[in-house]
Amino acid sequence: MKKRGILNSEIATVLSKMGHTDMIVIADCGLPIPDEVKRIDLALEQGLPSFLKTLDVILEDIVVEKVTLAHEIKDQNPTLDLEVKKRFDQQKLNYLSHEELKELTKRAKAVIRTGEATPYANIVLHAGVIF
């Protein structure tokens, strides 16, 4: 058994295969996930696991070059937007419309579906490199 790190085998596998600029999405329980993209469903019930807890665990395991969020989070979920901003340098933040973000998910290696039930709690993480 693994001693530490991500225990979910699907997430660990996807992260280990990611290269520079590859994308992974952490989503709320309502984001439509394209059929052609790997779905890793963690949702247990509304709110569990939370978006932020899932994000924090993923961030312990990968290098992130930039992130993409929906513009709508600024007005519809400003508390979450602030929490995300605390975790990244401002130059790493990129905002698109929610419709554009949904299109971007089609190119992701996987979408991790959380139990989060607050508006626009979706993020695209673009992988960086360790050197």
Q: How far is CA 53 from the centre of its chain?
A: 11
Establish whether 28 is an annotated binding residue. yes
Residues in CB range of 130: below 8 A, 6 or more apart: 63
CB 34 within 8 A of CB 109: no
Beta bridge partners of 123: 26
Establish whether 41 is an annotated binding residue. no
Establish whether 95 is an annotated binding residue. no
Establish whether 43 is an annotated binding residue. no
Establish whether 120 is an annotated binding residue. yes
Which one of the listed residues 20, 39, 106, 107 is annotated catalytic?
A: 20
CA dist 34 to 39, 49, 70, 86, 96, Å? 9, 21, 17, 29, 18
Is 126 part of the annotated catalytic residue set? no
What are the residue numbers of the active site? 20
Binding residues for substrate: 28, 98, 120-122
Residue ranges of the annotated binding site are 28, 98, 120-122
